[in-house]
Amino acid sequence: MVDLLVATTNKGKIREIKAVLSGSIEDLRIFTPEDFGITISPDETGETFLENSIEKSVFYSQLKKGILTIADDSGLMVDSLNGSPGIKSARYSGVDSDDRKNIIKLLNELKNKQNRDAGFISVITLSKDGKVIRSFRGEVRGKIINDQRGNNGFGYDPVFYYEPLGKTFAELSENEKNRISHRSIALNKLKDYLTEEMGAV
């Protein structure tokens, strides 16, 4: 039996992580902070996805010792905005930010920009007992469009257009997204590591 604490309260992330990992690793049990009554979270003081991913993973692995812990830090980086919103993707529109407000701000920032190239980035860090084991990175490239399309996904998915499938991420089915997304790329690297190196962790 392998127990894994997924260090997030984001329901969308939890759903995607479970979809990719469940059934792929024998006897894997996935938990969230809520399952253990954990209600505190780190400040996320890092300046990169990697730094924040490590901070969150180590923080939660110290709270629940003896269990493998993963934390994802991810976001959208737009080329013509010098990588913004980046690590501030979830809080882009301010203290009371939500997906709708963040998208509105993003589209306003891009009004006079011809270059709409962007990338979704995910960094997942695996830790145990306060020590980092390894980090895994995933990236997928696309373009930001002006009109929101689709009702699936979360975050910036309705305006992130993935050219190979001719759809926004919000128009993709769960199975489609979990085959090509930035998070699934990082999660599959994690899955391969756990499968191949389980005895080492």
Catalytic positions are: 73
d(CA 82, CA 27): 43
d(CA 27, CA 121): 29
User: Which strand ranges, in their side-by-side order, compose the sheet holding 167-168?
Assistant: 28-31, 2-6, 68-78, 117-128, 131-144, 160-162, 167-168
d(CA 146, CA 135): 34
